[in-house]
A and B are shown apart, each in its own frame.
Chain A
């Protein structure tokens, strides 16, 4: 019985078997329990603050960290990352030349690079050529999607592997140049 669970069992029993004349007063007294919960009065507008506070504490299930690595989305984010890195290099160099043209002019840069050891030069070439060629071939793949080609799963995977192969070949070709 619910009245027993909330601890008002004895009180309601007293009311049920109480004399008829004093029944109303006893009913009123059971509605206001002696050991009760503290309540505070809030305006209706406080509901949004409480909701926002709850939402801040809510956890979110893993999504990005558990998605299986696939050629589709890995190729896509790699295209964005390589493009962003190459563009950051272009922006950085241009702004540096604008701010300090004497330090960053072509003669100084060529001189600096020529003075580096060979293995550093080869590593630097790989680091520059690989993102450029991947962005180039994957960009062509993206443009072919925009024209309606390779839009099936098989087509996307075939084009993806072709782009990766072309990236490897052209990186080697560029580095050896």
Chain B
């Protein structure tokens, strides 16, 4: 009998008696049922936990808020996208005839041209500096210094606009200054 052989070789004396053997026989029949019940209850338990904390995708759950997050792309907007691009190119293109005109005439004769040139130059410079800040100190990687530099640049541009206005109004103007300094 297989069960008696098993008893004699390894198991402790407890199961050597007849009652012990009966316990073993019934346990082996019920054991499978118990095992199934336990495993199914465990699997059910795991499913509940997975859906409540993380998003499941093939390959494993994605837990938000760690360094392993995928890149978040900026919200698509025409103002910061294609309109900004077109405005930047139009501004740069308009600077060419304005600079040539200011070069040929003098700043005192055409103060409106001088003012427009000054404004366009400052806007062109601001867009250029802003591109540098976005390229090198993006707020995704530099969450503190990035926004600080962006707002410092905006404040500086406002100051420069005021300064250029003051200079063009109270003094000779940008084109005249460059012409005078060049031939000094």
Q: Which residue of A lies closest to B174 (CB)?
A: A90
A90 contacts B121, C-beta separation under 8 Å: yes
B61 within 8 A of A: no
Q: Given the complex of chains A and B, what is the CA–CA distance between A139 and B9 in angstroms?
A: 92
B10 within 8 A of A: yes
> Which of B92, B129, B132 makes the CB contact (< 8 A) with A139?
B92
- A48-B67, A87-B128, A106-B171 known; A94 vs B159 contact (CB < 8 Å): yes
Question: Which of A35-43, A107-115, A157-165 is the interface stretch?
Answer: A107-115
- A98-B166, A101-B170, A146-B89 known; A106 vs B128 contact (CB < 8 Å): no
A95 contacts B156, C-beta separation under 8 Å: yes
Question: What DSSP secondary structure best describes chain A's contact surface?
Answer: helix
A83 CB to nearest chain B CB (Å): 5
B113 within 8 A of A: no
Q: Given the complex of chains A and B, what is the CA–CA distance between A144 and B124 in angstroms?
A: 18
> Which of A83, A98, A101, A114 makes the CB contact (< 8 A) with B128?
A83
Q: Given the complex of chains A and B, what is the CA–CA distance between A142 and B91 in angstroms?
A: 13
Q: Given the complex of chains A and B, what is the CA–CA distance between A51 and B89 in angstroms?
A: 44
B27 within 8 A of A: no
Residues of B within 8 A of A94 (CB): 122, 159-160, 163-164, 167
B93 contacts A143, C-beta separation under 8 Å: yes
Residues of B within 8 A of A66 (CB): none
Residues of B within 8 A of A106 (CB): 171-172, 176-177, 180
A87 contacts B162, C-beta separation under 8 Å: no
A140 within 8 A of B: yes
Q: Given the complex of chains A and B, what is the CA–CA distance between A143 and B157 in angstroms?
A: 24
> Which of B125, B157, B159 makes the CB contact (< 8 A) with A98?
B159
